[in-house]
Amino acid sequence: MGLGKYQEVWMMRRSKLEMYIDILKVLAHRGPLKLTHIMYKANVNCSVLKEYLDFLIKQNLVEERTIGKKRVVYAITPRGITVLKYFRELKQILPIIEEARNKAPVPY
């Protein structure tokens, strides 16, 4: 028996951490972007994106810049780049840890 449509969607949902990382990746690769461009590239709806950008700004991972009189763009900070780098390194290490844990004898 297969999964229902809604179960498949639920299982594919990203965690907050994954969404934060996706936003940082978009800004790292594309440079400063307007809200709508981040929204489409990171596949996040507008209200959620605003909430997540506020968090990332408070953590000094993203900064808001005003260009001209009205245009607002968001850019990754040096600290954001460092966090992204550490996340990538951790992601490479985790499969090794998981593999070792699976091979370890189970204590009784």
Taking the alpha carbons of 100, 22, 61, 53 in that order, is the dihedral positive or negative?
A: negative
- Check residue 104 and give its pLDDT: 56
- Check residue 107 and give its pLDDT: 54
- CATH assignment of 14-103? 1.10.10.10
DSSP secondary structure of 68-80: TTTEEEEEE-HHH
Of 33, 20, 9, the closest CA to residue 83 belongs to 20
Task: Say if residue 2's pLDDT is above 60.
Answer: no
- Check residue 1 and give its pLDDT: 46
Helices (H) and strands (E) in the chain, counts: 5, 2
CA dist., res. 29 & res. 45, Å (int): 20
- What would the pLDDT profile of 9-60 be if each residue is shown by its tens digit? 444 677 888 899 999 999 999 989 999 999 999 999 999 999 999 999 999 9
Task: Say if residue 99's pLDDT is above 70.
Answer: no
